Amino acid sequence: MLNKALGNLDVNTLLKTGFFMRDLHQNIQQLHDEQLNDKDKPFPSIVYRGQTMTQQDFEIKIQPDKLMSYNNFLSTSELRNVAVGFIRRKLPSDNTKIGLLFIITIDPPIKSVPYARIAKFSKFPDEKEILFSTHTVFRVGQIKEIQEEEMKIWQVNLTLTSDGVDEQLSALTEQIRMEITGTGWQRMGLLLWKMSENDKAEQVFTMLLDQEPDDENNQAYCYQAIGLMKDKQGQYNVAIEFYEKSLDINEKILPPNHPSLATSYNNIASVHKNMGDYSKALEFYEKALKIDEKTLPPNHPHLATSYNNIGLVYNNMGDYSKALEFYEKSLKIREKALPPNHPDLATSNDNIGLVYNNMGDYSKALEFYEKAHKIYEKALPPNHLDLAISYNNIGSVYDDMKDYSKALEFYEKARKIYEKALPPNHPSLATSYNNIGAAYSGKGDYSKALSFLEKALSIWQKSLSSNHPNIRKVTNSIDNVKKKM
Could you report the per-residue pLDDT of 405-423, keeping only the tens digit for each?
999 999 999 999 999 888 8
Q: Which residues, including other chains, have CB under 8 Å from residue 260's CB and lie 6 or more apart?
A: 220, 250, 254
Mean pLDDT computed over every residue of the chain: 85
Q: Is the pLDDT of residue 16 over 80?
A: no
Question: For position 441, what pLDDT does the model report?
Answer: 94
Pick from 24-38, 146-160, 227-241, 429-443 the range whose average pLDDT is largest.
429-443
**2 has a pLDDT exceeding 50:** no
Looking at the DSSP bridge assignments, the partners of residue 47 are: 104
Over residues 340-397, the pLDDT tens digits come to 888 899 999 999 999 999 999 999 999 999 999 999 988 888 888 889 989 999 999 9
pLDDT at 281: 96
Question: Is it the case that residue 4 has pLDDT exceeding 50?
Answer: no
Assess whether pLDDT exceeds 80 at residue 190. Answer: no
Residue type, position 31, single letter: L
Please provide the DSSP assignment of 378-430 as one string: HHS-TT-HHHHHHHHHHHHHHHHTT-HHHHHHHHHHHHHHHHHHS-TT-HHHH
* H or E element in which residue 335 lies: helix 320-337
Q: Which domains does the chain have, with CATH numbers?
A: 2-165 (3.90.176.10), 171-253 (1.25.40.10)
Contact predicate 190/182, CB 8 Å: yes
The pLDDT, as a whole number, for residue 174 is: 56
- Among residues 142, 49, 52, the alpha carbon closest in space to that of 94 is found at 52
pLDDT of 8 > 50? The answer is no
Amino acid at 351: N
CA distance 9 to 200: 8
pLDDT for the residue numbered 165: 62
Alpha-carbon torsion, ordered 163, 184, 135, 374, to 10 deg: -60
Work out whether strand 136-148 and strand 151-161 pair parallel, antiparallel, or are unpaired.
antiparallel
Look at 2-11, 278-287, 310-319, 420-429 and tell me which has the smallest mean pLDDT. 2-11
Q: What pLDDT does 10 receive? A: 46
Spatial separation of the C-alpha atoms in residues 382 and 377, rounded to whole Å: 7
- Tell me what the mean pLDDT of segment 188-196 comes to: 64
Distance between CA atoms of 260 and 59, rounded to whole angstroms? 41
CA–CA distances in Å: residue 371 to residues 340, 352, 353, 366, 411: 11, 11, 9, 8, 18
Give the E-state strand segments of 54-164 in sequence order: 67-70, 74-77, 98-105, 115-117, 129-132, 136-148, 151-161
pLDDT tens-digit readout, 198-231: 677 777 777 777 777 778 888 888 888 889 888 8
Average pLDDT (55-84) is 82
Average pLDDT over residues 266-276: 93
Distances (CA, A) of 239 to 24, 43, 102, 218, 266: 39, 52, 45, 18, 13
